[in-house]
Each structure stands twice: as structure tokens, then as C-alpha cells.
A and B are shown apart, each in its own frame.
Chain A
């Protein structure tokens, strides 16, 4: 019996399709084509969705931070303005568009905030921390945290990071990094100025209070339009005076 040729070719096509699908399935099993899979170098420390390392110090939470802020930090690790050797090595080979995607991935993760264990500090230290966070240290011209990071301390889109939901160790490490120039910014350089003005004891107090402060009901960064309090003049891009 002679089969019509089209049957054979359709059979071949079916076999080819089947082979292709099973090959694709095998490949997909080995390496899903997702951003989460691609950024394994990030998630092994920061968590699959950027929830942060279990201690909250080694690798901070990334989930839900403003995308512009995350991108800027990735670029600072590339340019060396922010120093942390493992981070600098990991981001070194990436392009700006890819960094933007990665920043967007973590910014878009909407996860509940955990509370870190309250640091064992005396009550008066926490009170001092609260005072500096809410009112600053006028004697040293230190502005309050809330004046820039927002009254809910959840930051603003697109660049201002929130300060709650972070561990005490991570916050104090960052304040010290500003002082030792292992964390810097293109400008304005306000945090460098602020961190250098702070009393050492206040760094510990502020970090402890921020870490133990109950997260706001809505932890999302506030929209840019909500930032109604202007930043201090010396903290605005292009302003030449560092000291007020």
C-alpha cells in the first residue's frame, strides 16, 4: 500500500514537534526562563523575592523598595561609590538596562514586613532614638529622619528609601558607611553630611528605634507627590553649600 506523501510529512512534523516540546520541557526543567532564575546570584543572599537574609544584616530586604533607589544603588556598586566587595563583583558585568530590570523585579515584590527582634537596649536609648528620628538633633544641625524619609518612614517614589522593616545592624552599618566613605552618592550628599554630624551614640539609638518601630499599615513608598516637605536647601541636587 502506498501512503499519500502528506501523511508521512505530517507524521514527521508531529515527531519533530514532540521532540522539540520534550527538549524544551527538559530545558525548562533545568533552567526556567525567569528573571528569578537568572538572578540567583542576588537571591541566594537577599532571598528569592528580596525578603532579606534571615539576620537582616548580611543582606538587606530589597522587596518593595523604590525601583529608582535600587537601580541607583546597583550603579553605585558598579562605580565604586558604594563599597561592598561581593556586591561590587556580582554587578560588575551587567548593563544598565539589565540592572533596571533587576531593580524593577525586587521593587515589585509585595511581601509582608517581618519585625526584627528588638535590640537589647535600655529604654532611654530607644527614647533618644525616637527623639532624633522625629525631631533631629538641633544642637548639631541634624535634621529629623521623617523630614526626608516621610512621616511614615516608608520613603517616597522613586528614589527615597524607607527606613522601617530594616534591622538595627543594617541601619547602623549604613550610617557608619556614610562616615567612612564606603557609601557615597553622586549628590546631593546629604546623608554623608547628616551621618557625620550625628553623635556616635545616636547612631545606635536611631538604629535601635527604627528597627523596633512597628511597621506602618501601608508599607509602600509614598508617591512622589506626597513629598510635600521640601528637602533642606543644602540637600538639593546642584546646591553648592554643604553647610546650612
Chain B
């Protein structure tokens, strides 16, 4: 399968390079600033109020999550980001002259954030989410740049990229960009409220929610019509759910307050943040202002209902009875006999879309890994779930996950032991 994917990838890339190159070059939007503007930018960079605002915006954008190695200096890069095409290390974005962005002008920064182009015009790999960051306004970008420039410089050279052929040929990105990248600052929709527009701006831009919460195709791109419809996160192997709160949506039944609670505290009456979303809450969204969280919730609440999947009657797992016994023994104490959970402490499993999602990977991995809800200012001492990887066999995990997916109001497919076996690895960065 891997050679087939690579072969097809290579063919598509080569065919598209020629066709797309002229078209792409004709629409290069990089227009250097005028001297007057450059002077104004330089003055703005040392304005303390702007630096403070930039700090907030960099937190909303969760820049540090990728641009910080585990246990490393904030923003000094070095974290290796796994993609299906090879590993890409995040660069150092502290203002170190030799290894960071010390010599960058704001024009350079804007070209990276808005156009996905490096300081020397090279095309950047889209593991850097410029597909979303292009929506960020020039003024917000200037604030973020001012903040990054205010950081203590850290001398940490870039790691080499681990991309495989043909993905290590940067010019192949011409074709990729033609397919998946449309540069342009967010344009407010006058038909919508300012709050909705603020939410749309945050979700589509700095929040770069769609980078995980949408399906990616074999070239790692997201099709233009897929907006927050959910998808499996490549390499991390978690499923980021559809974010519509309306009928058929992945967050069906979530109120605006549920959305706000999850992003601010790490848990809501409908479920807790786990896996990569727990990182997002801990590092980013818990620090957002109430007004911005409300705006995000307003925007998500307005996402369209999803077409209901054709009703499928999934056959009940043969292991249902065994699953019920395991549930009573290991799960019911916290999640309740009827999967109702304990308000504010243990998430309900009945009607929980992390349980019933289109794939069972989140439920399987939650059982295997356990773990804590993220520690946040609002929930500094979270409760936790035991990891069951060491206690339960593949058959037992499959039985209990199938039981949970097919009990109470949950009507999802059963899980086979081999699916559990595939999820037993614990990638940690």
C-alpha cells in the first residue's frame, strides 16, 4: 500500500508541477512594504501594548505547541512534527540572529504566515498551517511578530528535515499549493453578527481548527469544501470530531456553554478534552478571553447540520455480555451504571460522540491510555482514568468498547480485537 501511495503521489506531483507553475507564479501576492510602512512597522514592534497583544494572539494560535521541543526553551523549535511523508522539525522562532528570526523583517514574517514562503522565497511545507494562518490580519500578524521579537533569543540550530522523495523536493509544493492553498485575509461576512465574525476569524485563522478537524487526502491536503467535518489526525492516530453542534454533527446537542466549558476548563457536561485536544486546551484555549470563547462558540453553533448517515443497524457484538461484565467491574464506579458519568468530574459515555464517533479509535485509546483531563486554571486538580493497556487483553478492550458503543442510546459499530492491537502503541511526541 505504501509504495502504491508513493507512486501515485509522485505521478500526480510531476503532472501538476508544470501545469500549475505558470499559474502560481502569476499570482504571487508578495508585495514588499513601502519605506514609510516599514518605518511604522519598526516603531510598532517595540510598543509594549502591542507586544502584550501579540503574546495573547500567539497563545490563541498555539504557536509554542509546535515550535517548542519537549522540555525545551519556548519557541526555540526542535520539536519533530510527524507527517505521513516524513518528519519536519519546527524551526526556532526566537529572535536569535543566527538560528532564529533575529534578522527577519516584518515583511519576511508576513510572507511566511500569509503566503507560506520562507525568507529566501522558498516554499514552506504545509505542516506549518499557513493554509489557516493566511486568514490572519496584517495587524494581528504584526503583533505576533512584535511578541516573538521581544522573546529572549535562543541559539538552537534547525534540525534537518526527514522528508522522503519526492516530498523533499520543495518545488513539488507548487502543485500542492495550487490544489489546497488559497491565500487571503479573513473577510467578514456583513450578513452575520460581529460575534459570529470574530468566531469565524479565530476558528479559521489563528485557531487553525480545520487542520485537525477535517479529513486529509492522500497528498495530505484538505479539500476546500471540508470545513470542520472531522478527520483522523495523521500519525497521531486520534480522531478529531466534526464540530457541528446541530443535527448529525459530531457535537450534536452541545450548547454554547458546553463548548466554552470544554475550551476553558478542559471538560464540559458532554465530555472531556483528551489526547491532542487536551494539549490545545492546556496550552491555548484556557487562556482565551471569555469574549473570544463566546465568539468561537457562536460560530460553531452556527455550523450547518450534517447530512444524516443512512441509518445502519449495527449487529450487536457477540461479546456484549462479557463487555457488560467488564464495564461493571472497571468502568461503572466512575462513569455510572448507565453511562451517565458524574457531573463536572467524569464524562458521560451515553451519547458521548467520542465514544460513538465514526471510528472507534478515540474510545479504544482512551481505555488503553487513561490519563488526566488537562490541568487548567479552572480545574487545577483534574480527576483521572486508569490506563488499561497493561490490565486488559485486546479481546477484553474490544468487548468493553463495543459494549459502551452499543449500550443506552449509543448505536455504533462493534470493535474487533485487531483494532485494539493496532492502537496499542503510545506515540509520545
Contact = CB atoms under 8 A, between A and B. Distances in A.
B416 interface: no
B218 interface: no
Interface stretch (A63-71, A75-83, A229-237): A75-83
B180 interface: no
Given A79-B70, A93-B278, A95-B380, A85 B428 contact: yes
A41 B370 contact: yes
Contact of B372 (A27, A35, A41, A81): A41
Interface in A30-65: 30-31, 35, 37-45, 58
* Interface bracket on A: 20 to 34
B132 to A, nearest CB: 24
A90 interface: yes
Nearest to A81: B71
A179 to B, nearest CB: 21
B334 interface: yes
Contacts, number: 97
Given A58-B390, A81-B71, A93 B381 contact: no
Contacts of A45: 386-387, 390
A63 to B, nearest CB: 18
Contacts of A30: 334, 336, 342, 345-346
A85 B384 CA distance: 17
Nearest to B427: A85
Contacts of B375: 93-95, 98
Given A90-B384, A93-B278, A93-B375, A44 B71 contact: no
Contacts of B187: none
A93 B372 contact: yes
A35 B369 CA distance: 20
Contacts of B428: 80, 85, 88-89, 92
B386 A44 contact: yes
Interface residues of B, number: 35
B207 interface: no
User: Taking chain B's interface residues, is the majority helix, strand, or loop, or is none over half, making it mixed?
Assistant: loop
Interface in B261-297: 266, 278-279, 282
Contacts of A31: 334, 342, 345-346, 383
Interface string B354-387: 0000000000000001111111000011111111
Interface in B376-429: 380-391, 426-429
Interface string A5-35: 0000000000000000000000100110001
Contacts of A101: 381
A80 B429 contact: yes
Contact of A80 (B70, B342, B343, B388): B70
A90 B371 contact: yes
A78 B426 CA distance: 14
Contacts of B342: 27, 30-31
Interface in A82-141: 85-86, 88-90, 92-95, 97-98, 101
Contacts of A58: 390
Nearest to B369: A89
A39 B343 CA distance: 18
Nearest to A94: B375
A40 B278 contact: no
A73 B429 CA distance: 18
B275 to A, nearest CB: 9
A42 B371 CA distance: 9
B253 to A, nearest CB: 22
B371 A41 contact: yes
A35 B383 CA distance: 9
A40 B386 contact: yes
A98 B381 contact: yes
Contacts of B371: 41, 89-90, 92-93
A40 B383 contact: yes
Nearest to B330: A44
A36 B382 CA distance: 12
Interface of A: 27, 30-31, 35, 37-45, 58, 78-81, 85-86, 88-90, 92-95, 97-98, 101
- Closest A-B pairs by Cβ, 8 of them: A79-B71, A44-B386, A41-B384, A85-B426, A93-B374, A95-B375, A30-B342, A88-B428
6 contacts: A31-B383, A41-B386, A90-B387, A92-B278, A92-B371, A93-B279
